[in-house]
Amino acid sequence: MPRRLNGWRALLAPHLVFLIPELLMAAGPFVIQTVARAGRPAFRMPDFFYGGQALIEGVMMRGRTTVAMTVRPLSGELLTISEPLPRALQRGRWLKVPFVRGLFVLYETLVLGTRMLMRSAAIAAEGEDIEISRPMMIGTMIFSLGFAIGIFFLLPLFLSTFADDATESDLLANIVEGLIRLVVFVAYIGLIGLMGEIKRVFAYHGAEHKAISAHEAQSPLTPVEVDRFSTAHTRCGTTFLLIVVVISIFFFSFIPRAGVPLPLLFLSRIALVPLIASVSYELVRFGASHYGNRLVRAIYQPGLWLQSLTTRPPDHGMLEVSIASLQSCLEADRAAGTPKVEATADVVDPSTGVLP
């Protein structure tokens, strides 16, 4: 009979749900590579590059064919678990349909990321994996998403109602709501980053970025070499969430407020969340494919700045965890005979984590 996930670590999952979109950035459409073309640096998108997600005392990496999770339990040794990627994340038919694919990929990554978070919590606390039942998974996802929608969408709307009396403009009131949402989002990440356990998760987040950057720069995957790279990365999932928050200002600005009951305004925000997420997904794809443009890089720069709140410098033990997880995916892809993706040494600047 499968054991239940108990303990305070299990309560961290709702607070870390914003890290899960990191898996959205793992597939090829989000990856930029510098290529010499006619003597000038140009940018192209390769078929695939690796990405991952920070866990509780661990790191998950996504490859072409598998997803691997490496966790360091209290006993100190590394435990790596690998499993095939969900079919929908490999070659689902909906992955080619614009403004629809984002919802399907986001759903699959939420299921996968939440399950791995819960499993890592059990391994970190008890040293062994547990079976996550479907009702437990669904319950955790509903609670986590409800928590995120409540604090990042409904709370800013409620707080902005105090501006309705100060202005007769629905547009201005909606802009005030959007600015409150942005402040709440940044403040929330900053506040939970003060928690001891969350700090460690953010350090594993930095370790994940360092390992991926080292792999893309074709550097040896050793803690010493990997540690040379920045904790920032151009395709961090934090950028996706920042785009969601900013784009929501645009969408909600068209919704009238005068005379509309607050419950209906709440419903309008919830109903538009899937549309905002799908549009944000497409904008990230567009930004990736045009990252060679200076204006595009400038627009996406705030996402790199925000990573200073969601990453911490990892120690060498954390780097060992991220390297083990990445190597598991690399070995599985080599065994499956998938084509090798070449990377150039100037894909990222080791000191900054960004493209030159």
Closest CA to 318 of 219, 208, 232, 229: 208
Is pLDDT larger for residue 22 or for residue 134?
A: 134
pLDDT band of 301, cuts 50, 70, 90 = confident
pLDDT, residue 43, reads: 42
The pLDDT value recorded for residue 159 is 92
Kindly report the number of other CB atoms within 10 A of residue 189's CB atom.
18
Mean pLDDT of the chain: 79
Residue type present at position 296 = V
Question: What's the pLDDT score for residue 254?
Answer: 87
298: number of Cβ within 10 Å: 9
**Taking phi first (over 0 means left), then psi (-120 to 50 degrees means alpha), and beta for anything else, what does residue 38 get?**
left
Q: Which phi and psi angles does 68 have, rounded to 5°?
A: -120, 140
pLDDT (average), residues 315-326: 96
Is the pLDDT at 117 greater than 60? The verdict is yes
pLDDT digits (tens, 9 = 90+) for 271-282: 999 899 889 888
**Which ranges of 33-100 would DSSP assign to H, the alpha helix?**
88-91
Residue 13 confidence (pLDDT)? 57
Burial of 221 (0-12, 13-18, 19+ CB in 10 A): middle
- The 10s digit of each residue's pLDDT in 27-45 is 434 333 333 333 344 444 4
Rounded distance, CA 186 to CA 196, Å? 18
Pick from 60-74, 114-128, 177-191: least confident: 114-128
156 pLDDT higher than 70 = yes
pLDDT classification of 354: cutoffs 50, 70, 90? very low
- CB of 116 within 8 A of CB of 60? yes
Query: What is the pLDDT averaged over residues 64-85?
Result: 91
353: Cβ contacts below 8 Å, ≥ 6 apart: 209, 213, 229, 230, 231, 232, 233, 234, 304
Q: pLDDT-derived band of residue 341, with 50, 70 and 90 as boundaries?
A: very low
Of the candidates 117, 122, 123, the one whose C-alpha atom is nearest the C-alpha of residue 140 is 117
Predicted pLDDT of residue 204: 95
pLDDT beyond 60 at 111: yes
pLDDT score at 5: 45
Q: What is the pLDDT of residue 4?
A: 44
